[in-house]
Amino acid sequence: MTPPGFIDVHAHHYPSVYVEACLGPGSPYSASRLATGRIVVRDGDGIVLTIPTDLPDPVQRLEEMTAAGIGVQLLSVPSPSVYGFPPAEAAALAREVNKELVQYAERGGERLRVLLTVPLPSPEAVVEEFEEWEGHPLVSGALICSHIRGLELDDPSLIPFWEYVEYHQPTILVHPTSPICSDGYELNGLSIAAGFMHEQSRSLARLCFSPVVQERPHALDRLILSHLGGGIASLGERLDVYWARFIEPEDPQFPRPTETLRRPHFDLALNSRPAMLAAIEAFGTEKLMLGTDHPHMPYGMTGVIEQVQGLSLAPDVLLSLLRGNAERLLSG
């Protein structure tokens, strides 16, 4: 039974083995520190990660969750994941990252859950990682990024991954990373501040037009698009226009993007009331759920919750956004 309280599907923790790998001499990434001490990780020219220096231990995290009314939190390691390491190293690192993250979650009782780090672009290694943790009560699915160091999510080489997702139905949180083209995003954190959202919406728009995914529509059923899909709700009807111009004449049965966008779920971690309202208008409320993006937002765990509570929704709808929708997804 899920502990009482809200359910946060999008929060992060950084196992020490992962931080050491990203900062070590063999890392494919480069790193520096801000004046505040926060670690900044780059993949090429784009910032892909900032790591706070004051990560909470499980006791502190549970105290913050309780104060915010959160009963359960899903923890994950976001971009750049392990994608930059050679395949064997990536698989081994993913295993160690998951072990440490599960050990952290175990100290939280039933209130902390884990979304696995998986070593894409190797579908075989991803399946092995899923099988390693199959049936573990604290493992709720996995996180993938919006592209795999330039490899698109609908690349044909990833078809076995999507077939696995469609058949086994794990929960998959899709998290942005730096834009495939990072030109113009190099300064002042633009890669994360704006580029992440642009990349998330671009990647999702591409999936709307992709036969690889459209031929496996149930692969989308348990996806959670973080950060409201980068604000994709405002683009749906425009995507339909270009579907009508480029796709419908050749394949009239190919679904409209606005139809496709109603299949996945979206978390609310975008720090934007207008974006939340646009998503409610475009998708309804049944597929929206709480995500705090903790510990990256300065308003802590309560910020998104307070924004959702300020949307003037009926009490039962509000509770579905803060708990019910995620509970239904995770219990399915």
Give how far Cα 246 sits from Cα of 152, 168, 187, 252, 260, Å. 20, 33, 36, 11, 16
Would you say residue 24 lies in a domain? yes
Range of the domain at 247: 6-331
Residue range 293-327, pLDDT digits in tens:
999 888 889 999 999 999 999 999 999 999 999 99
First to last CA, the chain: 13
| Mean local confidence (pLDDT), 16-38 | 91
Distance CA 262, CA 17 (A): 37
The answer to whether residues 224 and 266 touch, using CB atoms and an 8 Å cutoff, is yes
Taking each helix axis from N to C terminus, what angle separates 123-133 and 159-168, rounded to the nearest 10 degrees? 30
| Mean local confidence (pLDDT), 254-279 | 94
Residue range 158-188, pLDDT digits in tens:
999 999 999 999 999 999 999 988 788 877 7
The total of structural domains in the chain comes to 1
Distance CA 222, CA 213 (A): 13
pLDDT > 90? residue 47: no
- Residue 44 backbone class (left: φ over 0; alpha: ψ -120 to 50; beta: rest): left
pTM of the model: 0.96
Residue range 100-150, pLDDT digits in tens:
999 999 999 899 999 999 999 999 999 999 999 999 999 999 999 999 999
Is the N-terminal amide bond of 78 cis, ω within 30° of 0? no
Would you say residue 269 lies in a domain? yes
Would you say residue 1 lies in a domain? no
CATH number for the domain including 16?
3.20.20.140
pLDDT of amino acid 1: 67
Residue appearing with tokens 């992962």:
18
